[in-house]
Chain A
Amino acid sequence: AQKITQTQPGMFVQEKEAVTLDCTYDTSDPSYGLFWYKQPSSGEMIFLIYQGSYDQQNATEGRYSLNFQKARKSANLVISASQLGDSAMYFCAMRVTNTGNQFYFGTGTSLTVIP
């Protein structure tokens, strides 16, 4: 079975500091993709970053980077230089290539950036 686990219900970070949001996943399939989405209070899910299971390097997108540790089955999101606008819910998701097209989401982490 496919599963995504986010163990941090809430996190606080000082503005301009870096923060790491944890995500672990479980799948026996070798081909999968890992995603992070941001959900502000408005409700819309915003795609942030993607990591493929065969990618050799960790993904980076601006201030977002994904710390992919395949052996540990973890895909932590690192946000550098936090901004007040980063305050939101963050969801880790996985899609397993050979078991259909649905995304499996974690329960999310609520990030609050403190000025």
Chain B
Amino acid sequence: DTGVSQNPRHKITKRGQNVTFRCDPISEHNRLYWYRQTLGQGPEFLTYFQNEAQLEKSRLLSDRFSAERPKGSFSTLEIQRTEQGDSAMYLCASSLGGTGVREQYFGPGTRLTVT
């Protein structure tokens, strides 16, 4: 078990470009989450998958953002027409399913800088 991995770790892009991030969860975890973290703040929830189904989306997730989790394994988060306000750390987390509250295990994050 290698933990949650995210790629790339850093991304610098020009305003207006599209970017895509990848998250590979812990293999036996069927729940996957995306968060955004800006400087000096805690992570803010973006979206949640159970297996391949996207079950929850935050209002923070504008129509420029899309997330997928084909086959219930890895997930991608795409941001179209990036804006400077999109600059942030994008964190992925995974957890076991089932009843009860489960801790989430986080990846190292992808730091996005939009110039």
Contacts and interface: CB of A to CB of B under 8 A. Distances in A.
A52 to B, nearest CB: 6
Interface residues of B, number: 27
B40 A107 contact: yes
A102 interface: yes
Q: Is the interface of B mostly helix, strand, loop or mixed?
A: strand
A100 interface: yes
A102 B45 CA distance: 6
A91 B103 contact: no
Contacts, number: 62
Contacts of B42: 4, 91, 93, 105-108
Contacts of A56: none
A37 interface: yes
Interface residues of A, number: 26
Nearest to A106: B42
Contacts of B115: none
Given A43-B108, A43-B109, A43-B111, A102 B56 contact: yes
A28 interface: no
A40 B93 CA distance: 16
A50 interface: yes
A46 B108 CA distance: 10
Interface string B31-66: 101010000111111001010000110100000000
Interface of A: 4, 32-33, 35, 37, 42-47, 50, 52, 91, 93, 95, 97, 100-108
Interface of B: 31, 33, 35, 40-45, 48, 50, 55-56, 58, 89, 91, 93, 100-101, 103-109, 111
Given A35-B103, A107-B41, 6 more contacts: A45-B93, A45-B106, A47-B105, A95-B101, A102-B33, A102-B48
